[in-house]
Amino acid sequence: VSGGLRSPRRRWPVPYRRFDYRPKTDPYCQARYTFCPTGSAIPVMKEEDVIEVYRLQAPVWEFKYGDLLGHLKIMHDAVGFKSSLTGKNYTMEWYELFQLGNCTFPHLRPDMEAPFWCNQGAACFYEGIDDAHWKANGTLVLVTTISGTMFNEMAQWVKYDNETGIYYETWTVQASPDKRSTVWFDSYECSKFILRTYQKLADLGAVFKKIQTNYTSIILFSGEPIYLGNETSIFGPQGNKTLAAAIRDFYSPFKPHQSVREFFVDLFKIIDRVILNHQFYLFYNLEYWFLPMKSPYLKIIYEEVPLPLGSKASFGV
């Protein structure tokens, strides 16, 4: 890392930044699969309705690869609802607008000095629950029952959460594999949305069943991160040219690959930077950080996170 870097912030984990509005997407950013193709508005439920809430989980890209990523415990989470008055089912989830790769690594465009990020995540709500999708290789289980009033209050919260939490954050970054170790940065992805939704329902009075619930996290292991600056301070006219070049060089192997040979060449570069040289540049809250990487460098965990406890004046099972 070049000299002249700022001292790291001492508040850990760095809080996820919320925004006042969602920016328009750039036409350059294109998704292989359309985001939320059958999405609809969240309906207003009758107050006296009784709504079943389901935990939904399946391997990432299950629709294309079946249980392949499930063997690695790389899972996608959602929540389902069923109205007792209408009999209608609904699914709600949160995922990337331009797929995971674009949210995790930038594009290096020849006409732009700074790395270009195609990164947004958002909630998707649609009618129906694809039972086959969730049951075949994953989970579809009742976790609680709520009233129509609680559902409507949750819907208002979802609108706020969706309008202010707009960027997908792939990585959890912590000091060591020890569960008590310092967390430097927390991820912000599909499972965190589901956990926030469950907590909101608990705050509203829902009582959850006592069942085991596990979620996927992708963790980087690092010493204390070093704050580098934002796009303007690094890549702008008065920026740090040496640091700017180092960041671009770090991200260059993560581009889409055109051949098997190119893939292995770039894979060697990634191993050289991250493992042999203990380097990782993280983009979080529109700011760049340097991570002094350490063993075991990266780990995918499938860890239990208990369902929340409701209030004393609760509605539910």
**239: three-class secondary structure by DSSP:** coil
Q: Which two tokens stand for residue 169?
A: 């954050």
| Two tokens, residue 7 | 């001292």
d(CA 94, CA 100): 12
Give the position of tokens 């995790």. 104
In Å, how far are 34, 35, 272 from 39, measured between CA atoms? 11, 9, 43
Q: Which of 103, 118, 124, 190 is catalytic?
A: 190
Is the backbone of residue 247 left (phi > 0), alpha (psi -120 to 50) or beta? alpha
H/E stretch holding 205 reads none
Alpha-carbon dihedral 190, 192, 197, 201, rounded to 10 degrees = 150
Under a CB-based contact definition with an 8 Å cutoff, are residues 75 and 216 in contact?
yes
Interatomic CA distance for residues 8 and 129, integer angstroms? 45
SS3 273: helix
Distance CA 218, CA 212 (A): 20
36 in active site: no
Residue partners of 218: CB distance under 8 A and separation at least 6: 170, 171, 172, 187, 298, 299, 300
Look up 124 and say whether it is catalytic: no
Q: What angle do CA 270, 259, 69 make, to 5 degrees?
A: 65
The catalytically annotated residue of 36, 76, 107, 133 is 76
Which residues are identified as catalytic? Answer: 76, 190
